[in-house]
Amino acid sequence: MNKIEHIGIAVKNLKESNTLFGKLFGEPHYKIEEVASEGVNTSFFKVGENKIELLEATKPDSPIAKFLEKKGEGIHHIAFDVTDIEAEITRLKSEGFKVINETPKKGADNKLVAFLHPKTSNGVLIELCQEIKSEIKK
Mean pLDDT of 35-63: 96
Task: Assess whether pLDDT exceeds 80 at residue 29.
Answer: yes
Task: Assess whether pLDDT exceeds 60 at residue 67.
Answer: yes
Task: Assess whether pLDDT exceeds 90 at residue 138.
Answer: no
- Angstrom distance (rounded) from CA 84 to CA 65: 30
Please list, residue by residue across 40-62, b when 16 or more beta carbons sit within 10 angstroms of its beta carbon and e when fewer do: bbbbbbeeeeebbbbbbbeeeeb
Q: State pLDDT tens for residues 78-118.
A: 999 999 999 999 999 999 999 998 899 999 999 999 999 99
